[in-house]
Every structure is written in structure tokens, then in C-alpha cells.
A and B are shown apart, each in its own frame.
Chain A
Amino acid sequence: MGNTITEKILMAHTKLKEISAGQLINAKVDIALGNDITAPIAIKEFIKAQGKKVFDKSKIALVLDHFTPNKDISSAQQCKFIREFALEHKITHFYEGGQVGVEHALLPEKGIVLPGDLVIGADSHTCTYGALGAFATGVGSTDLAAVMLTGELWFKVPQSIKFVINGKLPKWVSGKDLILNIIGRIGVDGALYQAMEFTGKTISKLSMADRLSMANMAIEAGAKNGIFPPDEITTQYVESRAKRPYKFYSSDADAVYSDIIEIDASKLEPQVAFPHLPSNVKGVSKAGKVKIDQSLIGSCTNGRIEDLRIAAKIFKKRKASSNVRLIVVPATPFIYKQAMQEGLLEIFLNAGAVISPPSCGACLGGHLGILAEGERAIATTNRNFVGRMGHPKSEVYLASPAIAAASAILGRIASPEEL
């Protein structure tokens, strides 16, 4: 009986010779991540356990990206607490200020996470790195504390659901639309405790940016991880970034899956997730006349340069509706600079956008773009729960950068085809 890529990566981080779904294992961790919301609790737990030294200062990433630039005194205090810890323990991958980017865009970009890695992060969207062919999963702060201390963590080996996606993607249909469609099909707990493995001819041609968007939202189907078989596209992405060896794993032909779901991508149209669940998905042509007050283009799901290029293509010589606040958030300083050099920022400014510093703030209703009572936003982010971006009576609609851009221009949820 063969193994899935998820099982193989997990096994490679133990001393076991065999592994199967359902097994409880203790595994070595390659990279452990915390941010300005989750790291303070982890550090407190680390200190409470009388931790004197972290297991490996080069395997911990502390990224101050959520309530930064510091939104108030208490968030500044939290960042200060982490900074002092990071400096004391000489944490290699400590990012703040002008170095900081949205963690799940920053870590792949810097080559900190690589194919074959076992990554845990005290942030649910840690599953993003599955795009590289890594096992990456979100955990809590206490789990992070345990890893900072010992370099290991317990895992239950998940079953895997295989998604076989074939067919040419129609115009304006992206990785974001694929993953929204999948979550719409299987529901927000459709992959609970399981791995989502993405394969098929569409996937083998899909850009790394689109793969990152898809893996990012595996958690929105309840999954433990999302994973892509590494290939030539993976090599192109990581070879110039990696500063240490990495390894490609692949699923055996006779690997066991709990389910296999086939999808014809050529039949899809751009998708929109209506409030208040990411699974509440409709094709954009069935959205109806939904007026919006804000359009947010950014986040760990869709704040990469490829996303900004798509949006800029649509905004070229067009303006956002005067009724819409357009916010563009380049996910990292590098992406920001790229967008500047390519003239994208000028296009956004001419369209009437506010260009935000790299931050998670608006996506989670922290700061830099909060919604008032009754307001609606279209967002390229990953969650549309009640109150996610502000007032409990505000609404969030999830979509791709193309849809968010077209919607900003027309003042209602719309496809670029309507422009």
C-alpha cells in the first residue's frame, strides 16, 4: 500500500519506517511561525515552562504583521514584548517595520519555507506553504511554545482527499475561483481533519501565485493542510530563493484517499462567496445587484504581484466608483517595490485607491480599512464571517482580484466582462 505526499513528508520527520492515516506521531519541525497576535501567548508559555533557550534560532519565524504598523498602545506593547524575546534569543527570521510583509506571502518569497518541509504556524493560514509541496499546518500558541522549546510536535496523520482538476481555465478564472468553488462544493467542514491534495492537468500548469492562493484557503474547508505535488513550476519558484537543501515528495500511484473529487475547470466562471461563510459561493453572473462600499485587494490569499498585475490591468484608465473606498495592500515590501517599478501603484492611485502598507489589518477587522454597520466589502481575502472586517452587521464578499477590481469600478459586484 502506497503513501500520499502528506504521509511521506510527515514520516520523513520521524524515525518511523511506516506510516498511515490516523496514526499519532511526534515529528521534527523545520520552521515554526508566530505573529504579533499569537506569539505573545506562546512566549508567555515558553517562559512559564522555564524555557531558557529556543531549540534552534534559525527555525523560528516571528512576523509582526497583524496590528502593524502598531494600531494602538496595546498592540505596540505586544510587538515590544515579541521584539525583546526575538533579540534576546537572536531569532534569525524576525520581521517588523520596513522588513515586514504578510507572513504567508513573506516566508515563501524569502525562501524560508521550502518543498518537503514540515512547517507549523500559530496562524490558521499557515497551510499556504502546501503550494510548495511542504506539509504546513496552523496550530495554536501553546503548540508554538512547545516547538520553540523542543523542535517537535505531535500530529495525527490525516487522511487525504484528492482533487483532480482538468480543463483550461476560462478568462478571469483563477486559483482563487477554483478554491472558492471547491469550498462551495464540500462545505466549510468538508475536509475536516484531512489533507487536500490538488492534482490534474489544470494544476500542473497553474502558477505558484495561484497555488499559494488555493493552499491558503484549505483551512476554510476545515482541512489540516492543502498540498500540491512539486514540479517544474515549484523548481522555478524556489531555486533562486532557497538557502538550504529541499526535497520533492510525491504520492504513490497506490496511495489511499478518503475521497477523489474530479472537477472540470473549463466550466467555471469567477466565484463570489457571499456572507457569512466561505462556502456560500455563487458564480459572479448569479450575484445579482449587490452594491459595495469598499473593495480590498490584498492579503495572504491575493496580495502577490500577479494579483496586483491583474487588478492594474482592469484599473488602467478607469476609476473606482466614487461610492467605493478602494484599498490595495501589496503583501510584502518586495511586492510593493515591484508594483512601484512596474507602474502599478500609479494606476491604482489614478483609480482612487488608498495604498496600504503590507499588513493583515483590514482582512481581520484590526485596522486600516474597518467597515461600519450595514457596509459591504468585496475582498480578495479568505474569510467572510460575521464581523470579520468590522461591525458585526457589516458584510464581506470574497472573490478574486479581477472581480474585486471590476466591482470597485462599477460600485457593485461585477465581472470585468461588464466593463
Chain B
Amino acid sequence: MIFQGKVWKFGDNIDTDAIIPARYLTTSEPQELAAHCMEDADPKFVTRMKAGDIIAGGENFGCGSSREHAPIAIKAAGISCVVAKSFARIFYRNAFNMGLPIFESRELFEAIQEGEEIIVDSTSGTITLASKNKTFRINPIPPFMEQLIADGGLMKHIAGK
């Protein structure tokens, strides 16, 4: 798959409380959660971002609470994928389970500035930063995770077995 969009850059250790604060967890409706996506990291994010945009995170993206509301909020807000230096493990599982595409690249984060556009090609395993004429390799995902994506998430994977 190919994801093309403008990048919103966040730092290290972006926790799930920042992605979707607990005060909004009285619902699990994706659109209601999306309205508060990244609110405690950048209150204006939701009003400024556009569908298809990409989040670039630093180390340990999605640490903290196991709330699946976090990847749900990001996906429902219209973010096409998240590229981070590394992901916290529960967030990593949740993203694959519920179908938010996520990729690991350490180099992209160092090279990119907020607002620049990238093309993520999950088939060829590359990220292209055209404005700087640079291409980065995506860390390959384990074959099992590829299978999960191909099946359409964990529940469909189980149903198929």
C-alpha cells in the first residue's frame, strides 16, 4: 500500500494519555474520540490536520495506558499511517489488531521537518522524502504481522482459522 501525506511531527514518549486523554474515554465511538486526537500534545492538531496526513513520532510512541481508543482516535481522525522511531508494545499490538498502519524508521524522524510531505510504500518497504531527495528503508515487520494485516485485523484472522 502507498500512503502519501503531510507529516505532523511529535517527540519521544508520546503516551496514550496525550493521544486521547482519559477524560474522553466515556465513549468508544471513533468520531467522538477523533475530535480530541493528540489534544494534550497539540490542542490545535485536529483542526489543522487533513485526511491522509501522517504522524511521525520519536521513541516509544504510544506508551502508557493500553487504551485501544488511542489508535482508534488516530485512524478516525483521518491519519493514514504513523511512522515512529519505536513503538510501545501494547500500542504496537493494538495498531495491527485494529488496522492502523504503523511503520518503524529511525532515519525519517531525524531527516524530516513538520509539514514536509512523504510517500510511504509498504510493499517496497520505503519512505520517500521528495523535497530532500531522500529515501529510507522501513524496518521490516514480522511475517505474522503481515498476515494480520492481510486478514484485516485480529478478529478476522481468528475467524479465518
Report which A residues bind B (CB closer than 8 A): 24, 37-38, 40-41, 44-45, 48-49, 66-67, 71-72, 74-75, 78, 121-124, 126, 138-143, 145-146, 149-150, 154, 156, 188-189, 192-193, 219, 222, 224, 277, 364-366, 383, 385-388, 392
Over the window 87-108 of chain B, the binary record of Cβ atoms lying under 8 Å from chain A Cβ atoms (1 yes, 0 no) is 0111001100110000000000
Chain B residue with the shortest CB-CB distance to A390: B23
Given contacts A37-B25, A75-B26, A140-B66, contact A192 B155 (CB under 8 A): no
Complex Cα–Cα for A388 and B155 (A) = 31
| Contact, CB under 8 Å: B144 / A388 | no
Complex Cα–Cα for A121 and B89 (A) = 14
Report which B residues bind A (CB closer than 8 A): 13, 15, 17-18, 21-23, 25-28, 39-41, 43, 59-60, 63-69, 72, 86, 88-90, 93-94, 97-98, 142, 144, 153-155, 158-159
Chain B residues with CB under 8 Å of A48's CB are 155
| Contact, CB under 8 Å: B13 / A189 | yes
A237 vs chain B, min Cβ distance (A): 26
| Contact, CB under 8 Å: B23 / A146 | no
Chain B residues with CB under 8 Å of A142's CB are 68, 94, 97-98, 153-155
| Contact, CB under 8 Å: B40 / A140 | no
| Contact, CB under 8 Å: B69 / A124 | no
Chain A residues with CB under 8 Å of B25's CB are 37, 66-67, 366
Complex Cα–Cα for A138 and B65 (A) = 9
Between A and B, how many residue pairs show CB distances below 8 Å? 133
| Contact, CB under 8 Å: A189 / B40 | no
Chain A contact residues, majority secondary structure: loop
Complex Cα–Cα for A75 and B28 (A) = 10
| Contact, CB under 8 Å: A49 / B159 | yes
Task: Known A-B contacts: A38-B66, A124-B66, A138-B66. Give 6 more (CB < 8 A).
Answer: A74-B26, A124-B90, A219-B64, A364-B17, A366-B25, A387-B21
